[in-house]
């Protein structure tokens, strides 16, 4: 990744994905853009359900789309979230379920997570967000 340019592009893709969020209960829209090793970007948005447990996070939607298309190598994910009609002011990091789900498909220390605070990109690794991840090995 050409750091700054690609981070900003990926974050813009996440903001575009956010526009499709279905959030009749929380009003909190989230968009994600998942970058594959081959350079393809998969977008996802959060999709709520009235009974909450079947609700889908943007990150897992993007991951499911990519995996269902045969992708297996992931480099980074950008996440943008805010209340409907507002811009991102606070960082929007993946929830615990998304952190664990992503950890099962990436190399923790090499996978970049991008979000923003007041218009400034923030990056870290998934390992920073999920130290001592549960890894199941057969």
- The residues that are catalytic are 59
Q: Is 111:75 a contact under the CB 8 Å cutoff?
A: yes
Q: Is 34:25 a contact under the CB 8 Å cutoff?
A: no
Q: Is the dihedral of CA 12, 17, 88, 112 positive or negative?
A: negative
Half-sphere exposure for 9 (CA within 13 Å, toward CB): 12
Q: For residue 83, how many other CB atoms are within 10 A of its CB?
A: 13
CA distances (Å), 91 to each of 9, 35, 64, 73, in order? 17, 19, 23, 25
């Amino acid at each position: 990744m050409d750091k700054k340019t690609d981070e900003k592009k990926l974050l813009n893709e996440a903001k575009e994905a956010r526009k499709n969020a279905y959030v009749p209960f929380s009003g909190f829209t989230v968009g994600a853009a998942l970058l594959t090793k081959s350079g393809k970007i998969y977008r996802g948005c959060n999709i709520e359900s009235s009974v909450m447990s079947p609700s889908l996070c943007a990150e897992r939607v993007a991951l499911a789309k990519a995996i269902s298309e045969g992708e297996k190598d992931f480099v980074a994910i950008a996440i943008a979230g805010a209340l409907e009609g507002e811009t991102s002011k606070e960082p929007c990091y993946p929830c615990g379920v998304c952190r664990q789900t992503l950890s099962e498909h990436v190399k923790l220390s090499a996978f970049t997570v991008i979000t923003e605070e007041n218009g400034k990109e923030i990056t870290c690794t998934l390992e920073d967000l999920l130290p001592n991840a549960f890894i199941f090995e057969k």
